[in-house]
Amino acid sequence: MKNFKYTSFGKEYYFDRDFNSRDNLRLWLKNQDETVAADYCKKILEDRKDKKDILNSPTQIELRSLMMPSIQVYNKYFDNYYDLCEKIGLIPRYENVNSYDFSWKALYPSSSLTTDI
């Protein structure tokens, strides 16, 4: 059997986490006043920017892996996640991200299938 070396994340990792699961984060946000929840969401985004010296706004996948609120949650409290990112000094990773039309008809204009139920 080979030697196995265990490396700990360290106390910074432990103390940087406010919640132990995404469900706990979601439930906490749901039970808070909207201004408290919005301030918390903005604060953790600003903290991430300052601690890691990031320039671009985190993508949805990054937010999920970092146990941060999703883009939809940010849109709920701030109307537009990417506008919030620009206000705190983060550059959107993709241009015109809000102008894309991801609807079925826009993606497949010649399709005879309908999305009506």
Task: Write out the chain's pLDDT in tens, 117 residues.
Answer: 566 665 666 666 666 778 888 899 999 999 999 999 999 999 999 999 999 999 999 999 999 888 899 999 999 999 999 999 999 999 988 766 555 555 556 556 666 655 554
> Distance between CA atoms of 67 and 87, rounded to whole angstroms?
22
Whether 16 maps to a domain, the answer reads no
Asked if the structure places residue 47 within a domain, the reply is: yes
86 is a domain residue: yes
Provide the pLDDT for residue 21. 87
The answer to whether position 51 is within a domain reads yes
Residue 67 lies inside a defined structural domain of this protein? yes
Q: Evaluate whether residue 10 is within a structural domain.
A: no
Count structural domains, the chain: 1
pLDDT at res. 107 = 57
Confidence at residue 41, expressed as pLDDT on a 0 to 100 scale: 96
Domain ranges, residue 35: 21-94
pLDDT reported for residue 43 = 96
Q: Is residue 117, in this structure, part of any structural domain at all? A: no
Q: Where are the alpha helices (DSSP H) in the chain?
A: 11-16, 22-30, 34-52, 60-65, 71-78, 81-87, 104-107
Residues 6+ apart with CB under 8 A from 17: 67
| Phi, psi of 91, deg, nearest 5 | -90, 130
